[in-house]
Chains A and B, each alone.
Chain A
Amino acid sequence: MRGLILGFALNSHSQRITPRQMALSRFFSHKAAVISCLILLILTLFVILAPFTARYGVNQSVQLPPNSFLTPRANAWLGTDDIGRDLYSRLIYGVRVSLMIGLVSAIVSVTIGALVGAVAGFRGGRFDDIVMRITDLFLAFPFLVTLLIVRNVLGAISWIKPLTGEMNSVRFIIILFSIFGWMSVARIVRGQVLSLKEREFIEAARAVGASRRFIIRQHLIPNSIGPIMVSLTFSVVGAITGESTLAFFGYGPQAGEGATSLGILVGAAKGAVQTGYWWLAVFPCLTLVVISLSINFIGDALRDATDTQLDRGA
């Protein structure tokens, strides 16, 4: 139906609307996304203000023994773990680590992926073919297995250690996810660029003598921001759940001194199911689910909001 009412100007009677405002208004019409934003915002605040919001240190006992496996109570809102540490506080510190892993690796992999995808899509030809085959190669391997293999192989190479840190470190995991996260972004951005490439405003830029770099920077990337942002959100979710999966199998980040991550806490749920200490399983997993769902809703709403078809005007 949109095509039927195209053609008239919006300027005379309605207010000025920039494409950004249109996207924002479309975004905020998704209730689930708005609620998700709020939830994440609150969570992030909690996490940033950790020394204040957490009641205990990450390695601190709630009370003198007996202190292990205490059910949720006044001095330990979500109960305690096997050595008496407050689950609530550990959750806050854990989420902080996981969010950081998620965000940093997502930003790195999306940056790599967007550049690769844009250049491949725009240049086309053999360059595009080669890049895409490499991408396919990466995507062909089962994620988890490859992750573990690469982790162990890379970790064994001694001269890499100064760069990447120990196999168990947070830095290593971020690098690992960055290596494996860029491919799907590259694919998406390449697809977007391919469809934009033939549009006349790109030809117009070429007609005035614009270089390839100029066109990619000035036209292709700004018009691909939508898919890029959507990729970003899904990369974050991928990294967080990926980290949890690794930790579940015991390969999570061990930063020592009781430092923890959401993944490690979720991993501890393994034992809790048998022993009946339900709070050790329920709360970490619930947190993981809420974070993943929220980011997913936001990603969906972003995809809708940045749909360039709607930018053609009424």
Chain B
Amino acid sequence: MTEIILKIRNLHVTFDTPFGQVLAVRGVDLDVMKGEVLGVVGESGSGKSVSFLATMGLLSSRARVSGSIVLDGEELIGKSPQQMRSVRGRVMSMIFQDPLSALNPVHRIGKQISEMLQSHQELTKKQAATRATELLDLVGITQPAERATQFPHEFSGGMRQRVVIAIAIANNPKLLIADEPTTALDVTVQAQILEVIKRVQQQLGTAVVLITHDLGIIARVADRVDVMYAGRNVEQGLVDDLYDHPSHPYTRGLLRSIPRPGKERLTPIAGFPPNMISPPSGCAFRTRCEYATEQCETTIPELKLFTDLQTACLRANELPDFRIAQ
């Protein structure tokens, strides 16, 4: 059960833009275990989405990717587009925020799922159609056989996202990457979709990477958490540990700034999101950190084990204790 399905080491991604080079990802290390739900948390400029778009090989040619991404034992960086096409949809899949743009409006839902099945498996039309109906049932769509003949516009937002999930898991991939899958959905629908993802993970044994900015969602479904800031890892660990006694000032700041029961004043994190064309030297969070020293300006902090969390902070052992008051 502790087998690693995705191993990212020293991932760097830069974009050439008219404004200069954007250093979106600056040395990310990440492990995803088989069958677990890893929550990746970060805000604008954190590089969380870009890291996984790079994993899927979906970045434009303007992006330069270096490092190592090993999926189920195979190195992905350096693969040709053709090879990546064989990997995508079969070994790993990705779903995004807007289900409407992910679906083809002029094809029936059943056909879109069958298409996905038949592009990676040897199935007849009939077999694919049957499997498509099964998948719709798995993601909780009532009357799946009938609904498979419908078009995307006949589904509501939450239903569409379920369909998108069905397409993504059609070939039983080992890894499902979900990039902000519930951000565009109502709160009550969000709860349903999270249930679906959890069910998929349990029934199919799929590892799930859940990318989000919402710490509440992570608390609900994730087993482990990776916090990112300014293109780097900042803290990693089991979800209970991270929420209970985070070491990194950014994680602490995030937890403190979230509205919670009770009407005391919120504590924002000072400053603004980082400029990824010229991010601060050393530790990028230092411009907003109350504990920053001169050392933070010159040295890039590495992830080190501190208590039971991996933390990238030079002063992790000097910081006062922190527990969230409930």
A contacts B: CB pair < 8 Å: yes
| Chain A residues near B (Cβ < 8 Å) | 1, 4-10, 12-14, 22, 25-26, 29, 314
Q: Is the CB of A5 within 8 A of B275?
A: no
* CB closest chain-B residue, reference A25: B18
Q: Which of B1-39 contact A (CB under 8 A)?
A: 15, 17-20, 22, 24
| Chain B residues near A (Cβ < 8 Å) | 15, 17-20, 22, 24, 43-45, 49-50, 53, 59-60, 62-63, 272-278
A314 and B53 CA atoms in complex are apart in Å by 19
Q: Is the CB of A12 within 8 A of B273?
A: no
* CB closest chain-A residue, reference B24: A5
A10 and B20 CA atoms in complex are apart in Å by 11
Identify 10 new A-B residue pairs, CB closer than 8 A, beyond the known A8-B272, A8-B273, A9-B275.
A1-B63, A5-B45, A7-B43, A7-B273, A8-B276, A9-B272, A9-B273, A13-B277, A14-B277, A314-B22
17 A-B interface contacts by CB (under 8 A): A1-B60, A4-B49, A4-B50, A4-B53, A5-B17, A5-B22, A5-B45, A7-B44, A8-B274, A9-B275, A10-B19, A12-B275, A13-B275, A14-B277, A14-B278, A22-B18, A314-B277
Partner of A1, one of B19, B59, B277: B59
A14 and B275 CA atoms in complex are apart in Å by 10
Q: Which residues of A sit under 8 angstroms from B62, Cβ to Cβ?
A: 1
A162 and B144 CA atoms in complex are apart in Å by 77
Q: Which residues of A sit under 8 angstroms from B18, Cβ to Cβ?
A: 22, 25-26, 29
Q: Which residues of A sit under 8 angstroms from B53, Cβ to Cβ?
A: 4
A9 and B278 CA atoms in complex are apart in Å by 11
A9 and B272 CA atoms in complex are apart in Å by 8
Q: For chain B, what secondary structure do more than half of its interface residues adopt (helix, strand, loop), or is it mixed?
A: loop
Shortest Cβ distance from A16 into chain B, in angstroms?
12
Q: Which residues of B sit under 8 angstroms from A12, Cβ to Cβ?
A: 275
Q: Is the CB of B19 within 8 A of A4?
A: no
Shortest Cβ distance from B268 into chain A, in angstroms?
16
Q: Top 6 closest A-B pairs, CB basis?
A: A7-B44, A13-B278, A8-B273, A8-B45, A8-B275, A314-B19
Q: Is the CB of B15 within 8 A of A1?
A: yes
Shortest Cβ distance from A6 into chain B, in angstroms?
7
A179 and B43 CA atoms in complex are apart in Å by 54
Q: Which residues of B sit under 8 angstroms from A5, Cβ to Cβ?
A: 15, 17, 22, 24, 45, 276
Shortest Cβ distance from B21 into chain A, in angstroms?
11
A14 and B20 CA atoms in complex are apart in Å by 9
Shortest Cβ distance from A150 into chain B, in angstroms?
43
Shortest Cβ distance from A74 into chain B, in angstroms?
50
Q: Which residues of A sit under 8 angstroms from B277, Cβ to Cβ?
A: 10, 13-14, 314
* CB closest chain-B residue, reference A29: B18
**A7-B17 contact given A1-B63, A13-B275, A314-B22, CB 8 Å threshold:** no
Partner of A14, one of B19, B45, B272: B19
A271 and B223 CA atoms in complex are apart in Å by 85
A25 and B18 CA atoms in complex are apart in Å by 9
Q: Which residues of B sit under 8 angstroms from A25, Cβ to Cβ?
A: 18
Partner of A6, one of B44, B50, B272: B44
A9 and B50 CA atoms in complex are apart in Å by 19
Q: Is the CB of B278 within 8 A of A314?
A: no
Q: Which residues of A sit under 8 angstroms from B273, Cβ to Cβ?
A: 7-9
A54 and B276 CA atoms in complex are apart in Å by 57
Shortest Cβ distance from B230 into chain A, in angstroms?
10
A6 and B15 CA atoms in complex are apart in Å by 13
Q: Which residues of B sit under 8 angstroms from A1, Cβ to Cβ?
A: 15, 59-60, 62-63
* CB closest chain-A residue, reference B230: A8
A205 and B8 CA atoms in complex are apart in Å by 49
A7 and B47 CA atoms in complex are apart in Å by 12
Q: Is the CB of A10 within 8 A of B275?
A: yes
Q: Is the CB of B275 within 8 A of A7?
A: no
Q: Is the CB of B44 within 8 A of A8?
A: yes
Q: Which residues of B sit under 8 angstroms from A14, Cβ to Cβ?
A: 19-20, 275, 277-278
A7 and B22 CA atoms in complex are apart in Å by 13
A12 and B275 CA atoms in complex are apart in Å by 8
Q: Which residues of B sit under 8 angstroms from A7, Cβ to Cβ?
A: 43-45, 273
* CB closest chain-B residue, reference A12: B275
Q: Which residues of A sit under 8 angstroms from B19, Cβ to Cβ?
A: 10, 14, 314
Q: Which residues of A sit under 8 angstroms from B278, Cβ to Cβ?
A: 13-14
* CB closest chain-B residue, reference A310: B18
Shortest Cβ distance from B60 into chain A, in angstroms?
6
